[in-house]
Structure 1
Amino acid sequence: MDAEAQDNDGSTARDPAARRRHPLLFRVAQAKLRPRWRLSEITVTEEPEIRRAVRAAALGNAMEWFDYGIYAYLAVTLGDVFYSGASEGTRTILSLATFAVSFAVRPLGGAFFGPLGDRVGRKQVLALTMILMASATFSIGLIPSYDTIGLWAPLLLIIARLTQGFSTGGEYGGAATFIAEYAPDKRRGYYGSFLEMGTLAGYIGASGLVLVLTAGIGEDGMASWGWRIPFLIGGPLGAIGLYLRLRLEETPAFVKSEAGRATVAEVTGEAEPALGRKTEGGKAGGKQTPGELRRIMAGQRQTMLLCIALVAAYNVANYMLLTYMPTYLTEVLDWPRAEQLAVVIATMVAMISVVTLVGRANDRIGRKPLLMIGMVGFLVVSAPAYILVRQGAVLAVFGGMLLLGACLICLQGTMSATLPALFPTEVRYGSLAIGYNLSVAVFGGTTPAVIEGLVHVLDTPMAAAYYTMAFAVVGIVSVSLLTETAGLPLEGSPPAVATAAEAEEVVRTQRRNLL
């Protein structure tokens, strides 16, 4: 057996290159050389505790996408309010560009909040991001229009959007990490799918509120003052999310990782406190330095690139359907707001009804098959779906959106369990936050504006389909390079199970593998 297969820390079992070169030795290494866990080291998480953690994380994600959804569904109206000095066609592009500008600072937010979450804990950072997000959303509802204060109106809007983007940089990576580290290994896909249920719930809440307000006060009322109401509601929603998050305990994986680092520091006589350890003053030890970021980027370079590619393919599809499609129905098909929102809501209700089923499925058959179905699906059905949508009839539009939604739900119900498992516990929050937000900034948040620009430049409404298909190819290649993690412990963490009986079975299985 060569050196790779003899690696006694089990890292060979996570090396895709070793898997390809020595498939048999890889299996031996995976079965025989993985770390041996004592019963006391295995994490047993109780069902009520898991549900509280999932609820708090998912609500924060719902809050994030409620905010983004409100802006997306009011993009045309907000263009008229904040960019009324521009021509009618330019207003929507400027409004979507303002939507995209918040994504420019998301990598900065990820680089700040991610390593901070690895150092002081997931819970505190998630509470901070919730405060910033809710405050920025609430402030948008208070900004005067362009007709009232001129250029100050779009400037203040951009500042608020930048604040949202910075705080969101620590939101998804932290929430996904939080759920992944609480969930039992065999049910990580199921519990992770609730994070994306929060995404869909946020979008449904945003679109539903806009639909009700439009029906109640009309388009003129929305343009005059009604658009402010959804943003003002974001403040109280954030307070509820903050309350739920502050009641949670830190994740078991983070606590055990910190305990292990503290033990190593004591044995080696480390002078500087390990990341996340408490000093005598009660504050977390260690300062965030450029060295931390370099360590993450250097040590996780290949995995980070894989994460960026996966997220790019996923987010282009996600923003195309859930964020750009309402604008497409308004701008290209000239649909009334009420009709386009009703179809979008119906599509998302269909998706949210099956998202946890997809989560259960990827726990049983693996993450890769579900991800591959979604990516191949977008490559195959994007063009036919848009051809259906272009027919303009309600049933045709709904059918096209359902085709796209069926592909997207395979990704949504699986991705939140896949991404956190790419990185080891000690740098999981930081690595995921940086990789995810770099990708979203460059590819995801720009999707509505890029597609809208391509539609005008290429003079074809099929530009959205072609753009999505191109990134589906990126997704197919990325999934093929992915290592399956369903049912396995998170790297750097002991096994996590739901009952003491399962923990005993893990120990018995280890003993059998040694024979």
Structure 2
Amino acid sequence: MPDGAEATQREPTEQEIRLVIAASSAGTIFEWYDFFIYGTLAGLIGAAFFPSDNETLEILLVWAGFAVGFGFRPLGAILFGFLGDRLGRKYTFLVTVTLMGIATAGVGLIPSAASIGLAAPLIVLGLRILQGLALGGEYGGAAIYVAEHAPPEKRGFYTSFIQASVVGGFVLSIIVVIACRALIPAEDFAAWGWRIPFLLSIALLGISLWMRLKLSESPVFKAMKEAGETSANPFKESLTYPGNPKRIFVALFGITGVLTTIWYTAFFSGLSFLRGPMRVEESLVEWMLLIAGAISMSFYVVVGRWSDRVGRKKPIIIGALASLALLFPVFWGIGSLANPGLEASARAAPVTVSGAQCEYDPFAEIQASPCGRALQDLTALGVPYAIGDGATAELAIGQDSYSYEGLPDTTRRAIIQAWLEGNGYDFARQTPPFASVIGIIALLLVLGMLSALTYGSVAALLTEMFPAKIRYSSMSIPYHIGAGYLGGFLPLIAGYIVAMTGNAYAGLWYTMVVVGFGLIVAWWGLPDGPPRDFADGGQDPAASPATS
């Protein structure tokens, strides 16, 4: 903190801090609810706005729309980071939450592609861009606002509520979907009821604005403004301030790259894995994610508080190492509990596809060859497969072989499904026994803990890494580049890898690569020891790459 700002800063009261945490956390929950409701309702959004005969393409287009919003987060970080460092923390994140609420409600008002054609997905993408811009300004504002009110010895604890609120937004989206499914018949929910969770954003926006308007400006920013020490060009200074390029590199790959890929693997990959290849009944999946998500929110607070004693580096390193060791075993465990019959069938009757031009393009509306169309059907059914060397159009299931040559497009998938069912495959929606459900929730909680270890202390860490006058811009830019591209594109990239390989677990390799590289950067770039503010020579990898 600059000397002039430090001299005039008043210590906030406990009551003021509680209001700051409550209002910032509630706003973060609502804003992430707006963003996550899109992913929670991915299947219905695909049918409404991205209809395709290729089911895999349909869901990939939904995840592409999801990624578009994330892709614009860095631009939002630059724009609102500039405003936050120039005009203040409070009013900047009032603007971001308003923009998010309006854009989300707009998705619920768009006519389907069946009504207005190509205009429907284009409008959806436009609103996703607005959401991405808003989210690019939200996290930095809320995190800094709480951090700049918190006493240094409790900064990790207080800011951990912001991290837990991100999960809270995901949990709230599931609660609303479950409630709507319970109140609206299934056919009506699929036809129009899915729009209600989007329209609810207007009410959540009103509550969030009411709470945040009660807040005063950050004491750090007010002190800087009174001392005339705000930055004239925060974006430019973020890139030129001594040591900042190195700090931004560490924040991007060593912090954000790790936390964001683990987070989306834990929650979104867990959701799509259970709904998709494991074929678990959808409402049961939502309940399991709801329970696991709600419990895991407390993990973020525990880790944040722990980081106030042991430093910010240790939890991140432990979480990254544990993720590399546990991701595959945890998902294998979830798969064996969720749908043991699929795994048994795949072992007893493995599927091999042979034929000319045996290639599958998940982004093609119509595959180029009969073999490609057979692979498309197997992918849509969630069946693992291998590609054989022969040129004969043949589908081998265990000891039996079938010719898919000449199968009509209208009945081909049903015929292939019947072949598979005749060899022991079961495509009914699964409802695992109670003991298996408890086991799945326990494994989801393991994923939640891995996320908490790498995420719970991050708001405090990023605040401590950068000087106050360019803090909003400096922490938002690497955070949203990492979260926007490394994390936001994870569902799309992982889904593509699964579709190309026929292996439901193959998408985890993307997470493993990003976390592995991030672990090296974090180990090298983050300082050991107790946390210290930037003004005290704190979390500064430019000053000391390994120790402080």
- The TM-score with structure 2 as length reference comes to 0.76
Q: Is it true that 1:298 corresponds to 2:240 in the alignment?
A: yes
Equivalent position of 2:90 in the other structure: 123
Sort the Cα spacing of 1:368 and 1:203 in 2 relative to 1 into closer, same or farther, 3 A: same
Sort the Cα spacing of 1:38 and 1:90 in 2 relative to 1 into closer, same or farther, 3 A: closer
Name the count of aligned residue pairs: 436
Give the deviation of 1:38 after TM superposition: 12
Q: In structure 2, how many angstroms separate the alpha carbons of the residues matched to 1:440 and 1:131?
A: 21
* Conserved? CA contact 1:69–1:323, under 8 Å: no
Q: In structure 2, how many angstroms separate the alpha carbons of the residues matched to 1:251 and 1:39?
A: 13
Equivalent position of 2:179 in the other structure: 212
SS at the partner of 1:419? helix
Q: In structure 1, how many angstroms separate the alpha carbons of the residues matched to 2:143 and 2:172?
A: 21
* Conserved? CA contact 1:109–1:165, under 8 Å: yes
Equivalent position of 2:535 in the other structure: 491
Equivalent position of 2:195 in the other structure: 228
* Conserved? CA contact 1:426–1:492, under 8 Å: no
Q: In structure 1, how many angstroms separate the alpha carbons of the residues matched to 2:174 and 2:74?
A: 27
* Conserved? CA contact 1:351–1:406, under 8 Å: yes
Q: In structure 2, how many angstroms separate the alpha carbons of the residues matched to 1:83 and 1:200?
A: 27
* Conserved? CA contact 1:72–1:324, under 8 Å: no
Deviations 1:367-393 (A, max 9, x none): 111111211111111010011011114
Q: Is it true that 1:384 corresponds to 2:321 in the alignment?
A: no
Which among 492, 496, 500 is matched to residue 457 of structure 1? Answer: 500
Q: Is it true that 1:374 corresponds to 2:418 in the alignment?
A: no
Deviations 1:232-275 (A, max 9, x none): 0111111211122222111111122223336xxxxxxxxxxx64
SS at the partner of 2:109? coil
* Conserved? CA contact 1:314–1:475, under 8 Å: no
Give the deviation of 1:142 after TM superposition: 0.6
Equivalent position of 1:54 in the other structure: 21
Q: Is it true that 1:407 corresponds to 2:450 in the alignment?
A: yes
SS at the partner of 1:212? helix
Equivalent position of 1:503 in the other structure: none
Equivalent position of 1:159 in the other structure: 126
Sort the Cα spacing of 1:236 and 1:36 in 2 relative to 1 into closer, same or farther, 3 A: closer
Q: In structure 2, how many angstroms separate the alpha carbons of the residues matched to 1:110 and 1:86?
A: 37
Q: In structure 1, how many angstroms separate the alpha carbons of the residues matched to 2:266 and 2:185?
A: 25
Unaligned runs of 5+ in 1: 1-8, 10-34, 263-273, 276-285, 495-515
SS at the partner of 2:326? helix
Greater helix proportion? 1
Equivalent position of 2:271 in the other structure: 326
Amino acid at match of 1:402: L
Q: In structure 2, how many angstroms separate the alpha carbons of the residues matched to 1:36 and 1:147?
A: 61
Equivalent position of 1:20 in the other structure: none
Give the deviation of 1:433 after TM superposition: 1.4
Sort the Cα spacing of 1:138 and 1:492 in 2 relative to 1 into closer, same or farther, 3 A: farther
Q: In structure 1, how many angstroms separate the alpha carbons of the residues matched to 2:490 and 2:225?
A: 39
Deviations 1:329-368 (A, max 9, x none): 1111111210111111111122123332222211122211
Q: In structure 2, how many angstroms separate the alpha carbons of the residues matched to 1:134 and 1:215?
A: 24
Give the deviation of 1:478 after TM superposition: 2.9
Amino acid at match of 1:459: G
Please list every run of at least 4 consecutive aligned residues from structure 1 whose deviation after the TM superposition is greater than 6 angstroms.
Answer: 35-39
Q: Is it true that 1:440 corresponds to 2:483 in the alignment?
A: yes
* Conserved? CA contact 1:378–1:468, under 8 Å: no
Equivalent position of 1:354 in the other structure: 299
Equivalent position of 2:136 in the other structure: 169
* Conserved? CA contact 2:9–2:220, under 8 Å: no
Give the deviation of 1:471 after TM superposition: 2.2
SS at the partner of 1:249? coil
Q: In structure 2, how many angstroms separate the alpha carbons of the residues matched to 1:107 and 1:38?
A: 28
Query: RMSD over aligned Cα, in angstroms?
Result: 2.3
Q: In structure 2, how many angstroms separate the alpha carbons of the residues matched to 1:198 and 1:302?
A: 29
Equivalent position of 2:349 in the other structure: none
Equivalent position of 1:466 in the other structure: 509
Equivalent position of 2:290 in the other structure: 345
Q: In structure 1, how many angstroms separate the alpha carbons of the residues matched to 2:5 and 2:117?
A: 66
Give the deviation of 1:86 after TM superposition: 4.5
Unaligned runs of 5+ in 2: 339-435, 539-548
